[in-house]
Chain A
Amino acid sequence: MESGIKIKNRPRIADGLLLVLLIILTAFSPRFLPAGAVGEVLTIRTPDFNTEIPLGIDGRHPVSGPLGTAFLVVEDGRAHLENAPCPLKICEVMGPIDRSGQVIVCLPNRIVIKVSGQEEVDAVSR
């Protein structure tokens, strides 16, 4: 039988260096993110329709995808998803969002919600 690869079964120096590198990458990753100003508009993309709602008005909006309906809750200028029908619920922990560029994504349910700032809306309306 073709032999496999001989490998030490204890951690080595290179493993430790890799661990440090990954910890640094993880710790500093928020710095590479688009951290815009507080946004004004939520852009909602689903398989059936695209729409925009203001972030300034509190509300509870049903958002449907192939798996079912989740609720987009807007409260005090921030938005998050509730009652998501997807298995992993990553979309629920991605909220609340309120800064432009921030997103809530539910890939299994094909929903993308994004915050846009006032500037972008102005640019479109001018």
Chain B
Amino acid sequence: MRSPARITTLALLVAGAFALASLERVVPNPFPMVRLGLGNIMTLVAFVTLGVTGGVWVTAGRVGLVALLWGGVFSPTAVLSAAGGAASLMIMVPLILSGRFSLYGVSMGGAYAHILGQLTVAVLLYVRSPGLLALLPIMGTAAIATGIFNAYIANKLAFRLQESRSQNPE
């Protein structure tokens, strides 16, 4: 269904994801090799409030906008960002549809799939050597931690959104 409320919520979540992803690139990070993946918070919220298609749109929108603004559509950064986004959706959608996971599992699975997708595409397209997988211990640990953190935030946000919606029914 394409109700105005749905479109508006979707647009807000895409804008939020884009803002968070951009913020992460601008703010100095003491651990530069680790990304928080804050943009995924909005995808998680979209899963809860809009359903699976909403989450897919938020991730796709974020990847597209980030590629346009930061470094060109076919730059390695954009290609890897798209690979990570696609891989994380391929895991998050089945996890959420299974009905057995909370946002914590969905978020961890998505974060981990994101780095696996990125590393795989980087090895196949750019590096042509599996030595790059040496990054897996540090990136995997970070993915688990950031996945849990993002799920915590997304839980709070989604709960608030649903609360305010039940107070202001259409």
A contact set with B: CB distance below 8 Å = 1-5, 7-15, 18-19, 22-23, 25-27, 29-30, 32-34, 87-90, 93-94, 101-103, 105, 107-108, 110, 112, 114
Instruction: State in angstroms the CA–CA spacing of A1 and B58 once bound together.
Output: 17
Interface size class on chain B is 35 or more
Q: Tell yes or no: B86 within 8 A of A by CB.
A: no
Closest-by-CB residue of A relative to B79 is: A107
Docked-complex contact A102 and B134, CB < 8 angstroms: yes
Residues of B participating in the A interface, judged by any CB pair closer than 8 Å = 1, 3, 5-6, 9, 25, 32-33, 35, 46-52, 54, 71, 75-77, 80, 95-96, 98, 100-105, 108-109, 112, 122, 126-138, 140-141, 143-144, 155, 158-159, 165, 170
Q: Is the CB of A19 within 8 A of B144?
A: yes
Contacts of B101 in A (CB 8 A): 12, 14-15, 18
Listed by A's residue number, 21 A-B pairs whose Cβ atoms lie within 8 Å are A4-B49, A5-B48, A7-B96, A7-B103, A9-B103, A9-B155, A9-B158, A11-B104, A12-B105, A14-B98, A23-B144, A26-B140, A26-B141, A29-B140, A30-B134, A33-B131, A103-B129, A103-B132, A107-B80, A107-B127, A108-B77
